[in-house]
Structure 1
Amino acid sequence: MTTSTGAPAAPRIPEAVHRRRWAILAVLMLSLLIVVLDNSILNVAIKTISTPDPVGLGATQSELEWAINSYTLVFAGLLFTAGLLGDRLGRKKVLLFGLAVFGIGSALAAESGSPVELIIFRALMGLGSAFVMPATLAILMNVFERDEQPKAIGIWAGGVGLAIAIGPITGGVLLDHFWWGSVFLINVPIVIIAIALMTFIVPDSRDPKPGRIDLVGVLLSVVGLVLLVYGIIKGGQLADFTDPAVLATAGAGLVVLIGFVLYEKRSDHPSVDITYFKNKVFSAAISAIALVFFALMGVTFFSVFYTQSVRGYSPLQTGLLMLPLAAAQIIFSPRARLVVDRFGVKATCTGGMLLIAAMLAAFMILDADTPIWILEVIFFLMGTGMAHIMTPTSVVIMQALPREKAGSASALSNTFRQVGGALGIAVLGSVLSSAYRNGIEDKLSLLPPGLRHTAGESIEATLGVAGTLGDKGKVLVGAANDSFLDAMHTTALCGAIVALIGAIVVALFLPGKPPAQVSGAAETDEQPVSATIGTD
């Protein structure tokens, strides 16, 4: 990420756009804030939504997972296509479209009358988000020169940390004063403000030579990703990845994606140039993003139940407890480039991965009365590790492709992140569910047969049944807490192993510290002149 001091031979960006680049970045971060804010708000609302009517919707654990994963399924399936459409039709246009759809989906989700309706409207929100995420990073790459891109991406990544900080606290305040649907309705005014600012401040850009649209490739990528992610989610829901339906669906997705790769290699107008993946650095950076989100998404899911169900904290208190995770990202994401300049991408990302692995393993020491400051330290160090992975790998990925393909690069990065996150929720959620049921099963033998299966689904289900038993239920509460803690420890260990695998990948394939460049040397920027960009 070290840059030379030489200047490009000619300006790549219109001066009018260059002058307002930081204002453009602020508007793009507001768009990003909406998407990330919604998911972080939902994390603290999970327990409330699982509470029976009239407080919540009475959603089961599997319905809660689908409320999260219906969004992920549509998001991951359409990200790549949305990035391609942005490159061709104009990134500002698809971003405005995505924000509008997301806002409508949020308003509908707030008025859901059942878990099924919530799942459907969350999917609509995922559709909007798929058009927002690739466009924000693609526009950023087109309004900043190459030497400023690492700093801009660092600030952009810090915006993710800010959203993670604001989300749980906002969700906690809303749940303390309003009904559960307010956590979705809050998105609507933010969307309106973002659309208004974007219309006047953000320029449009596109690939000046997009060629023909690769309809076959687009169709194969959507079908393949949807089938694969659906199979993963279904396996987690059933807690059985050997189920024939799971194997058939995920296997079909893999077959279709292999067909996509083979087709793209032979196409004279491919959606994505498969030869980019021959670059070990590019492939390792994308793999690192997928692996870190695999580990972290599973942890986020079970940590909410640990703080609220086991420790008894309110949604607002849970949001405040997650502040260190976000604060670390806000602090370190913009500064990660300085660490890379000194130590190189390989050392920075390997250190970040090892730190995350150690903190995941540290969850194994948590129990029902562990001093809460220990959890705060774990969250802060996890956020520190994440900041030193996301910023360097994002820069590597975005600078590996020509500037006019920024939408495709951003979509690839986000697709791998979402598939990794879906895997994390499905696989680690499956481990959590299976371990919890195995631990609590023998304690449920005194319950009527009809209640045993329901009570064993999750700690919330067990506590709900215990609440109906009066004094007799107190023994069941203690057993539920013990079983959940054992299941959480097992799940955290699995996440730590995945993070260690990520550390090995980045240590082997990401570049080390580059040799010092000669002062005044000419810049060697392989990216073509900036894509067509308007000043609006």
Structure 2
Amino acid sequence: MHRRRWAILGVLMLSLLIVVLDNSILNVAIKTISTPAPTGLGATQSELEWAINAYTLVFAGLLFTAGLIGDRVGRKRVLLGGLVVFGIGSALAAESGSPGQLIAYRALMALGAAFVMPATLAVLMNVFERDEQPKAIGIWAGGVGLAIAIGPITGGLLLDHFWWGSVFLINVPIVIVSLALMVWLVPDSRDPNPGRVDPVGVVLSVVGLVLLVYGIIKGGQLADFTDPTVLVTIFAGVAVLAGFVIFEMRSDHPSLDVTYFKSKVFSAAMAAIALVFFALMGVTFFSVFYIQSVRGYSPLQSGLLMLPLAAAQMIFAPRARLVVDRFGNKATTTGGLILIAATLAAFAGFEKDTPLWVIEVVFFLMGAGMAHIMTPTSVVIMQALPREKAGSASALSNTFRQVGGALGIAVLGSVLSTAYRTGIEDKLTVLPAGIRDTAGESIEATLGVAEKIGPRADSLVGSADSAFLHAMHVTALCGTGVALIGAVVVALFLPGRPPTRQQGKEEQELVTASE
């Protein structure tokens, strides 16, 4: 047991803060970045999806390898190197001159973040004894909630006073402070028997995911999933991912050890994480446009409105283990997913004049549901593998979270795009033929065109709001269905609350089943 373990946890949470902070800040800045220059970059909805997914796909694709490299060369070195790359990527992203540059620099940031995230949890598992690990993981999960809370408010304050690039530049001073504290406090650790790096597996997983997500986003952009380009790209992505799984099953040093999934408990926990982030990331994407474009709130007000979501995570994440102790993993996680499904269904009833207190209650309940999913599933996953495999377990957990989130943004973003374009198409006849296609891409595109044309297009604003609200309702119901599927999976396969005398025995069986 390390004597400075709680101080080390604080440093690890600061490192984690910037990785999570970056995405939560970006959520508030989405509308500003989609505004034409000089205010923003004039990014289309598909380019915005790529700005988010370039980060999540590179992050997810490299997490497992980053965990293995940390296990091999030392987690402290990997943390320091990852933070430096993340800081450089942040500085470059702040100076992007086009959506394409922003997408590229976000990918560079993800390269650094991929080495930070698994190493933080691996170091945590190494400095805390098993009986303190659930408490430490709960605080670690609460740190994610803190980052989600700080992100939108910080982003709103920055956008009120500075240009859009400031939401990335803010990462640089945090990186510098984290590096100094890490050099001083964090001990190095490594796996005595590390796995070999699997470059073929990494390439196959990243290529497969990029093809799949590209096809889904393209289908939403065209509002036509039967387009040959869309179908070929999606099927190619699925085929490459199938090849990845087959290769990993036959490899003697896989980047994704599929034998872990022989444990139903482990698999169910992974599925729960992937499905909840699929639903939540997709909903977060459209809620920003609802709050800022339809309701007319500023980025700062938007950030403050999302505060209950983060506050609930901060309140409940460290205490969720107490609920698990009383009711067990199955009841706690199933309840969390049902609560998430209910809050997503509530979005399907939101209109332009829905009272703010209703929205705030829904965000708070969403955060509470998430806290009662993330803490128990993280504990199940981390304790399902031996301590020396902590980097691998952390990487796997975060990979599924990021892949779930990326697919959520792609799939639900495409549902939103398709439903919006279908709803607004026949109202665009007041516009010149040459700009109708661009105006139908998103609510921001429609409002931007309407503003340029002036009084002739005034009727478009009301039509854009109505089309977006309908699209949001459809998308929210899709997210609800996904969360309910997660609840069924968890209810069927996660363990209930075992009798006290059998707890140790069952934990040992879980480790054995996962080896």
TM-score bracket, shorter-length normalisation:
over 0.9
Choose the corresponding residue for 1:77, options 58, 61, 68: 61
Q: 1:334 is paired with a residue of what secondary structure?
A: helix
Greater per-residue helix proportion = 2
Change (3 A) 1:214 1:59: closer
Measured in 2, the distance between the counterparts of 1:334 and 1:110 equals 34
Q: Which residue of 1 aligns with 2:235?
A: 251
Structure 1: runs of 5 or more not aligned = 1-12, 529-536
1:369 matches 2:353: yes
Determine the structure 1 residue equivalent to 2:278: 294
1:245: how far off? 3.5
How has the CA–CA distance of structure 1 residues 514 and 51 changed in structure 2, closer, same or farther, with 3 Å as cutoff?
A: same
- Cα pair 2:160 2:300 within 8 Å, conserved: yes
Distance (Å, rounded) in 1 between the aligned partners of 2:182 and 2:103? 29
CA shift digits 1:216-246 (9 cap, x unpaired)? 4444444444444444444444444444334
Within 2, Cα distance between the matches of 1:138 and 1:236? 38
In the TM superposition, residue 260 of structure 1 has moved relative to its aligned partner by 3.4
Q: 1:355 aligns with which of 336, 339, 349?
A: 339
1:497 corresponds to which residue?
A: 481
Measured against aligned partners, the alpha-carbon deviations of 1:370-408 in whole angstroms (never above 9, x if no partner) come to: 111100000000000000000100111111111111111
Which one-letter code corresponds to 1:357 in the other structure? A
Shift of residue 276, structure 1, vs aligned partner:
1.3
Q: State the partner residue of 1:163.
A: 147
* Structure 2 spans left out of the alignment, 5+ residues: none
**Partner Cα separation in structure 2 for residue 433 and residue 216 of structure 1:** 34
Deviation at 1:160, TM superposition (A): 0.7
CA distance in 2: counterparts of 1:508 and 1:49, whole angstroms: 43
Aligned residue number for residue 395 of structure 2: 411
How far apart are the structure 2 equivalents of 1:83 and 1:520?
27
Offset of 1:98 from its aligned partner? 1.0
TM-fit CA distance, 1:266: 3.4
Identical counterparts, % of pairs: 81
Which residue matches 2:22? Answer: 38
Shift of 1:352: 0.4
Which amino acid letter does the alignment assign opposite residue 85 of structure 1? Answer: I
Alignment partners' CA distance in 1, 2:400 and 2:346: 26
Q: Which residue of 2 aligns with 1:508?
A: 492
Match of 2:434 in 1: 450
Distance 1:523 1:501 in 2: 26
Q: 1:316 aligns with which of 300, 318, 328?
A: 300
- Structure 1 SS opposite 2:348: helix
Give yes or no for contact 1:403–1:527 (8 Å, CA) kept in 2. Answer: no
The counterpart of 2:472, out of the listed 488, 492, 514, is 488
How big is each residue's C-alpha offset from its partner over 1:303-356, in whole Å with a ceiling of 9 and x where there is no partner?
111111111100000000000000000000000000000000000000000000
* Aligned residue in 2 for 1:122: 106
Query: Is 2:365 the counterpart of 1:381?
Result: yes
How many angstroms apart in 2 are the aligned matches of 1:81 and 1:284? 23
Preserved contact between residue 238 and residue 430 of structure 1 (Cα < 8 Å) = no
Change (3 A) 1:143 1:58: same
Distance 1:121 1:523 in 2: 43
SS in 2 for 1:517: helix
SS at match of 2:500: coil
Aligned pair in 2 of structure 1 residues 110, 171: CA closer, same or farther (>3 Å)? same
TM-score by length of 1: 0.91
- The question of 1:391 aligning with 2:375 is answered yes
Is contact 1:229-1:419 (8 Å) kept?
no
Answer whether contact 2:223 2:421 (CA < 8 A) is retained: no
Q: Distance in 1 between matches of 2:54 and 2:375?
A: 28
CA RMSD after TM alignment: 2.1
CA contact (8 A) 2:274 2:405 kept: yes
Q: Give yes or no for the alignment of 1:282 onto 2:256.
A: no
Rounded Cα–Cα distance in structure 2 between residues aligned with 1:311 and 1:154? 35
The equivalent of 2:317 in structure 1 is 333
